[in-house]
């Protein structure tokens, strides 16, 4: 998919790629041109090697070559102008000229096997130009068809170059087959490109959502996502009568790392700590970076105090394990404050405040955790 999109992008401008309507029709135009060139080449090969058109072979081949030249010219024009409306109209105009000229030289409205190709004009116009211009080309096609009808009715401005019935029958079959391939190919291209664009849009949306909800440096949840998940976990815990642990973490000894070794070293240390915290926690737990050297955890479905006594020593051990960056050893410690839903509060904002209070109590000991108690508010 990526290779196809990159190839199609070479024909579109930056502004076209940023507009969903323009990118869809631009991709469809380029795709249809290449498919129609391929089908025209196959038709040309059929006329040269398989279908015996007799003396009229040169006319049929000339019209087919004219179509190929028109497609290639449209592609070059689009590559240089990036104007899909102009190029689509140019291509459809060439097709209209070839089709209705072909009708007039192969028996006119009543006898020509080429008339069925007129269906290609409105289909192409609706796919490439939308409703308004699609209707315009539908009306143009109707007018040209009516003109051919009266031309044949009054035996004016038409002739039959294909004299043998066998040749006419062969042309009917071959042109009908080509028309089905062109119309079907156009619709298939449209659906394929629509699928590709929807997939690309889905990927871009996921990237945007991930960027909006995750910390740029560490890749874990950011402050916004932390509070969103905490509200969700509290709602689920209320329904299931479970407990939720909220942990605030502050790194002791981190500021000297930045001051001595620079922010690059500090950033790398934060990345390592984020990875370690995720490794020691369950998949259902949330690890978030609130900013600077502050982290936070959400521990849903825990049992107090047993789970806290198991989890928190693992968290502290993961933080204080030496970090090696560019052959330099960095050691920091964690101070953790814990609050429990619903034991301490049923309000997520109050729980966070209590966890913060407990964290500052833990900082007095260093490399320790404290579970909130009401005595801390005195």
Q: Note the pLDDT of residue 7.
A: 73
Q: Of 352, 228, 349, nearest to 296 (Cα)?
A: 352
Range(s) of the chain covered by CATH 3.30.70.270: 223-377
Phi, psi of 250 (to 5 degrees): -120, 135
Binned average pLDDT, 10 residues per bin, the chain of 378 residues: 68 70 78 82 74 65 84 89 89 88 82 83 87 93 93 77 60 65 69 73 78 90 94 92 95 89 91 95 94 95 91 95 90 95 94 95 92 85
Please provide the CATH number assigned to the domain covering 223-377. Answer: 3.30.70.270
Q: Of 351, 350, 327, nearest to 339 (Cα)?
A: 351
Q: Note the pLDDT of residue 169.
A: 63
User: CA angle 342-346-348, nearest 5°?
Assistant: 115
Q: Of 150, 152, 137, nearest to 104 (Cα)?
A: 152
Are the C-beta atoms of residues 213 and 221 closer than 8 Å to each other?
Answer: yes
Do the bridges between strand 294-302 and strand 328-330 make them parallel or antiparallel, or are there none, so unpaired?
A: unpaired
Are the C-beta atoms of residues 92 and 146 closer than 8 Å to each other?
Answer: no
Q: How far is CA 62 from the centre of its chain?
A: 42
Q: Of 58, 127, 145, 60, nearest to 91 (Cα)?
A: 127
| CA–CA dist 289, 6 (Å, integer) | 36
Residue 335 β-bridge partners: 250, 368
| CA–CA dist 206, 123 (Å, integer) | 34
> What's the DSSP call for residue 365?
T
Helix (H, G, I), strand (E, B) or coil at 297: strand
């Amino acid at each position: 998919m990526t290779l196809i999109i990159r190839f199609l992008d070479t024909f579109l401008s930056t502004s076209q790629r940023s507009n969903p309507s323009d990118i869809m029709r631009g991709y469809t135009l380029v795709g249809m041109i290449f498919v129609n060139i391929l089908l025209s080449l196959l038709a040309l090969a059929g006329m040269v090697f398989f279908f015996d058109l007799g003396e009229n072979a040169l006319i049929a081949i000339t019209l087919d070559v004219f179509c190929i030249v028109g497609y290639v010219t449209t592609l070059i024009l689009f590559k240089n102008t990036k104007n899909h409306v102009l190029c689509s109209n140019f291509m459809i105009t060439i097709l209209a000229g070839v089709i209705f000229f072909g009708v007039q030289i192969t028996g006119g409205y009543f006898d020509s096997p080429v008339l069925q190709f007129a269906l290609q004009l409105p289909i192409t116009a609706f796919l490439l130009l939308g409703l308004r211009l699609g209707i315009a080309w539908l009306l143009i096609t109707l007018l040209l068809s009516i003109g051919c009808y009266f031309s044949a009715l009054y035996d004016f401005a038409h002739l039959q170059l294909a004299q043998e019935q066998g040749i006419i029958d062969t042309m009917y079959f071959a042109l009908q087959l080509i028309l089905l391939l062109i119309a079907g190919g156009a619709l298939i291209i449209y659906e394929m490109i629509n699928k590709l664009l929807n997939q690309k849009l889905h990927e871009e949306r996921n990237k945007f959502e991930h960027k909006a909800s995750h910390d740029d440096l560490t890749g874990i949840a950011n402050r916004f996502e932390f509070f969103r998940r905490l509200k969700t976990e509290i709602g689920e815990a209320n329904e299931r009568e479970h407990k939720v642990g909220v942990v605030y973490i502050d790194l002791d000894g981190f500021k000297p790392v930045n001051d001595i070794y620079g922010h690059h070293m500090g950033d790398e240390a934060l990345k390592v700590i984020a990875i370690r915290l995720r490794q020691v926690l369950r998949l259902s737990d949330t690890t978030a970076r609130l900013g600077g050297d502050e982290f936070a955890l959400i521990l849903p479905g825990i049992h107090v105090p047993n789970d806290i006594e198991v989890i928190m020593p693992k968290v502290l051990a993961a933080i204080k394990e030496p970090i090696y960056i560019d052959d330099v050893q960095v050691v920091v410690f964690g101070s953790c404050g814990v609050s429990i839903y619903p034991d301490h509060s049923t309000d997520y904002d109050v729980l966070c405040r209590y966890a913060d209070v407990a964290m500052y109590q833990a900082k007095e000991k260093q490399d320790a955790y404290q579970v909130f108690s009401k005595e801390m508010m005195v």
